[in-house]
Chains A and B, each alone.
Chain A
Amino acid sequence: MSELNDILDLLDLAIGRSEGVLDERAWDRAGSLRSRLRVRDHYLEDALTVAFAGGTGTGKSSLVNAIVGAEVVSAGVLRPTTQAAVAVVPANLGGSIAALLDAVGVGETSDESGPEGRVLVDLPDYDSIERAHREIASAVVPNVDVVIWVADPEKYADPTVREQFLEPMLAYEDQFLFALNKVDLISEDVEPVVDHFRSILTTIGYASPSVVATAARNGQSGEADVEDLAHALAESMDTKRAALAKAALDIRMLSNEAWAFCHRKAVEWQSDSDALAASTFVSLGVAGYEMHARATDSATDRGRGT
């Protein structure tokens, strides 16, 4: 049994003790996190889930294709292109991974297979006129282990995606990798643009964002250049560690929120059951904190891509 399993047992306990204490929606959220992490635990050694998110036309699908080295998801010119979350699954996992995809919220799977140990999820855009796309993407992003946020030289500074996505997702900053795609469109030095993008992220609150420059598709000139990103994905990221870190983060966020709620209620009503639920969530939070520390500790090999 993995260390995640131990924590999930504790989560079970917390959920049991907080029934009727947490409001219904928060309690349901805790329940669905438990289901998802149970599934995640089952595939812990198999694959990382990596979502490609970003604005319309930034080249998410093209980037997925370039990483795989084949046309695995359709990358079109008509916007917005990708309308549902599509997973590219490693050949060795095939159909056996259906439960994980289900837990993450991805309904479609590409016929082609992707790199070993990585489930790549191509998401719809975040900023197009199709609001449903944002909802699909927003539903998937919190469930995956790693998010590759794809920006391009035209829209890397858009306030829209900043407000709609980058700011709300700040809590998951460790899960993020930023790709400034289409750098082949920049006729001058790429580095100042990358620096500017990084400084915008820092301003939002991303402590040390990993930004890689990519050129997934190039229209007329040159070849695809996704080496840095592929490297960050394939070699610098330990599957289990990264998955555990994300799970730990989910747990910590849940317990922080639930503990505060139960604690307020306990003080207000002088209720022992509320107090018990609160202390259970505190224990859960501590366990999550420790697991996160272990997963990220000495994780010098975690990809920074720079």
Chain B
Amino acid sequence: MTTAEALALEFSLVPRVLLDADEINVLDDGLHALAAIAEATRRQPTVAIVGPSGSGKSWLVNELAGSDVSPTGVLRPTTVAPVRVDVSQRSLVVELVDTPAWEHSPAIVKAEVASGNAVVLVVTPSRYADASVADLLAHIDADIPIMVVMNRVAEPTESGLIEDAGRVLRQRIVAVREDGSVSDVWARVSDVVDPQDGGRHAVLAAAAAGSGRFVAGTVTSRSTGLGRLEVALEAAEIPTLSGPLSVLDDWRQTAVAIVAAVAGLRDGVDHEIGYASEAGLGERFRLSLPEWDADSFGRKLDEWKLDTDAAFIASARIRWRPGATGDLVRRVAWKSAVNPAVTLPPRIRRVMGDRLSDVVMKRFDALLALVEDAVSDRHASWKDAISDAARYTPGSLLGAAEAYEASDTDV
């Protein structure tokens, strides 16, 4: 995993509930920057490293790649066929092609130059004015960006050397010292292969890293508010019904009233926990919780009604002609199961006899359990959300952002 991928992963783990809208924008900006860099990376430009014999093309490729991918040597020509290597820094990936010397294999060099996105011409203080170098430059299409690297520049640089080479080659020269750093070369490569905007990659990378730092800092500072929510969660009691459920004329109306009552209880949970913290944070948590599926709860109530009817019928002591008992029970018996205080018609009481109160209490308890489940479910949602957020440690995001930033300086 690259440092960019690691940072993107950390971004995805941040509990967005802890952030306000502006802060979420910052986080998204970071993700977008990473995505844009990744997209640019997928295009993977090719850079041909060309130059006269012995100028140190393979050395430069190896330095940029950070490993010996193309053999170097003192016997000329050293490189006889193109050597390709993907070089990545941060998330910019470039395919470098080490080519044979121009004088030895012009056809190969021409082909690589033509198919590449940019060219790095490597010269040395002793051979920047070679006719073969001028010849090579003349063979590079005007629309292909060229960087000229002068290798083996002495320390200190002979006065006027770089300027003179710039004049002779009509190019800006990047000087590289023997055993020196090639980071300047890499910077120029990054500029050149991203022609839309030389600094675009750097800006995006800085935005991603900065976003990571900011979000990590914000999440850390939110821990106070989160702490209050945790305390409230611990203290919160799950509300219960303050009185009997209301019984309306028919079952449908009654069911709607029960659903409304349960919704009220769930709001009570939100109130008790959510308002313990600063309004913004608690409200964002509330909005982040899964919406209550009232329809599904309504269906459970209907099932409860059917089960209740069945329980009454099964317990009936007297049976009339088939169906008559059921009709009567189904019409009114459920009312006492919703509210045991409701007095059932004498006919029902007669049919049920001494088993009536037992059935009523069992079915009433079953209904209360349904209601309690729906309310404690809300409490559980709060608990999950808060503990998820509390479990998140912004340190790993900060670490990823720093690692991503640091990868800029490595080659």
Tell me whether A130 and B129 are in contact (CB under 8 A). Answer: yes
Known A57-B127, A79-B128, A154-B55; judge A192-B75 contact (CB<8 A). Answer: yes
Tell me whether B74 and A56 are in contact (CB under 8 A). Answer: no
Q: Does A55 contact B (CB under 8 A)?
A: yes
Tell me whether B132 and A158 are in contact (CB under 8 A). Answer: yes
Residues of A within 8 A of B160 (CB): 77-78
Known A56-B130, A131-B131; judge A78-B161 contact (CB<8 A). Answer: yes
Residues of B within 8 A of A79 (CB): 125-129, 164-165, 168
Residues of A within 8 A of B152 (CB): 185
Contact with B along A129-160 (1 / 0, CB 8 A): 11100000000000000000000111111111
Q: Does B53 contact A (CB under 8 A)?
A: yes
> Which 5 residue pairs are nearest across A and B when measured between Cβ atoms?
A57-B126, A154-B54, A79-B129, A157-B76, A77-B158
A220 to B133, CA, bound (A): 26
Q: Does B45 contact A (CB under 8 A)?
A: no
The one of B77, B104, B168 in contact with A129, judged by C-beta atoms closer than 8 angstroms, is: B168
**CB of A215, distance to nearest CB on chain B (Å):** 14
Q: Does B134 contact A (CB under 8 A)?
A: yes
Q: Does B52 contact A (CB under 8 A)?
A: yes
Contact with A along B98-124 (1 / 0, CB 8 A): 000101100000000000000000001
Tell me whether B134 and A157 are in contact (CB under 8 A). Answer: no
The interface size of chain A toward B, counting residues with CB under 8 Å, comes to: 34
**CB of A120, distance to nearest CB on chain B (Å):** 21
Residues of B within 8 A of A129 (CB): 129-131, 133-134, 168
**CB of A182, distance to nearest CB on chain B (Å):** 8
A132 to B288, CA, bound (A): 80
**CB of B159, distance to nearest CB on chain A (Å):** 8
Q: Does A196 contact B (CB under 8 A)?
A: yes
Tell me whether B52 and A80 are in contact (CB under 8 A). Answer: no
- Residues 28-53 of B at the A interface (beta carbon under 8 Å): 52-53
- Residues 135-194 of A at the B interface (beta carbon under 8 Å): 152-160, 182, 185-188, 192-193
Known A129-B168, A157-B76, A160-B132; judge A57-B124 contact (CB<8 A). Answer: yes
Q: Does A219 contact B (CB under 8 A)?
A: yes
Residues of B within 8 A of A157 (CB): 53, 76-77, 104
**CB of A167, distance to nearest CB on chain B (Å):** 14
Tell me whether A158 and B53 are in contact (CB under 8 A). Answer: yes
Can you pick out 25 interface pairs between chain A and chain B where the beta carbons lie within 8 Å of each other?
A56-B126, A57-B125, A58-B126, A77-B158, A77-B161, A78-B161, A79-B125, A79-B126, A79-B127, A79-B128, A79-B164, A127-B131, A129-B134, A154-B124, A154-B127, A155-B53, A155-B54, A155-B127, A156-B76, A157-B104, A158-B101, A159-B104, A193-B74, A196-B76, A219-B154
Contact with B along A99-133 (1 / 0, CB 8 A): 00000000000000000000000000101111100
- Residues 42-82 of B at the A interface (beta carbon under 8 Å): 52-55, 74-77
Residues of B within 8 A of A186 (CB): 74
A184 to B394, CA, bound (A): 56
The interface size of chain B toward A, counting residues with CB under 8 Å, comes to: 31
- Residues 127-167 of B at the A interface (beta carbon under 8 Å): 127-134, 152, 154-155, 158, 160-161, 164-165
The one of B126, B154, B161, B165 in contact with A154, judged by C-beta atoms closer than 8 angstroms, is: B126
Tell me whether A160 and B164 are in contact (CB under 8 A). Answer: no
Chain B residue at minimal CB-CB distance from A59 = B126
A158 to B100, CA, bound (A): 12
Give me the interface of B with A, judged by CB distance under 8 Å. Answer: 52-55, 74-77, 101, 103-104, 124-134, 152, 154-155, 158, 160-161, 164-165, 168
Give me the interface of A with B, judged by CB distance under 8 Å. Answer: 55-59, 77-80, 125, 127-131, 152-160, 182, 185-188, 192-193, 196, 219-220
The one of B75, B103, B158, B168 in contact with A193, judged by C-beta atoms closer than 8 angstroms, is: B75
Known A154-B54, A158-B52; judge A55-B127 contact (CB<8 A). Answer: yes
**CB of B59, distance to nearest CB on chain A (Å):** 11
Chain B residue at minimal CB-CB distance from A77 = B158
A59 to B125, CA, bound (A): 11
Residues of B within 8 A of A192 (CB): 74-75
Q: A158-B132, A193-B74 are in contact. List 10 more A-B contacts (CB 8 A).
A: A57-B127, A57-B129, A58-B126, A79-B129, A129-B130, A129-B131, A129-B133, A153-B54, A155-B127, A157-B77
**CB of A154, distance to nearest CB on chain B (Å):** 3
Tell me whether B131 and A128 are in contact (CB under 8 A). Answer: yes
Tell me whether B104 and A56 are in contact (CB under 8 A). Answer: no
**CB of B108, distance to nearest CB on chain A (Å):** 14
**CB of A121, distance to nearest CB on chain B (Å):** 21
**CB of A83, distance to nearest CB on chain B (Å):** 12
Known A154-B124, A192-B75, A196-B75; judge A128-B129 contact (CB<8 A). Answer: yes
A57 to B130, CA, bound (A): 9
Tell me whether A80 and B54 are in contact (CB under 8 A). Answer: no
Chain B residue at minimal CB-CB distance from A78 = B164
**CB of B82, distance to nearest CB on chain A (Å):** 18
A158 to B105, CA, bound (A): 11
Tell me whether A159 and B126 are in contact (CB under 8 A). Answer: no
Residues of B within 8 A of A130 (CB): 129
**CB of A128, distance to nearest CB on chain B (Å):** 5
**CB of A218, distance to nearest CB on chain B (Å):** 10
Residues of A within 8 A of B101 (CB): 158
**CB of B187, distance to nearest CB on chain A (Å):** 25
Tell me whether A154 and B75 are in contact (CB under 8 A). Answer: no
Residues of B within 8 A of A219 (CB): 154
Residues of B within 8 A of A193 (CB): 74-75
Tell me whether A77 and B104 are in contact (CB under 8 A). Answer: no
Residues of A within 8 A of B75 (CB): 192-193, 196
**CB of B139, distance to nearest CB on chain A (Å):** 14
Residues of A within 8 A of B154 (CB): 219-220
A220 to B125, CA, bound (A): 15
Tell me whether B129 and A160 are in contact (CB under 8 A). Answer: no
**CB of A76, distance to nearest CB on chain B (Å):** 8
A152 to B76, CA, bound (A): 11
**CB of B220, distance to nearest CB on chain A (Å):** 52
The one of A154, A182, A187, A196 in contact with B52, judged by C-beta atoms closer than 8 angstroms, is: A154
Chain A residue at minimal CB-CB distance from B169 = A129
Tell me whether B129 and A80 are in contact (CB under 8 A). Answer: yes
Tell me whether B128 and A160 are in contact (CB under 8 A). Answer: no
**CB of A258, distance to nearest CB on chain B (Å):** 34
A55 to B133, CA, bound (A): 13
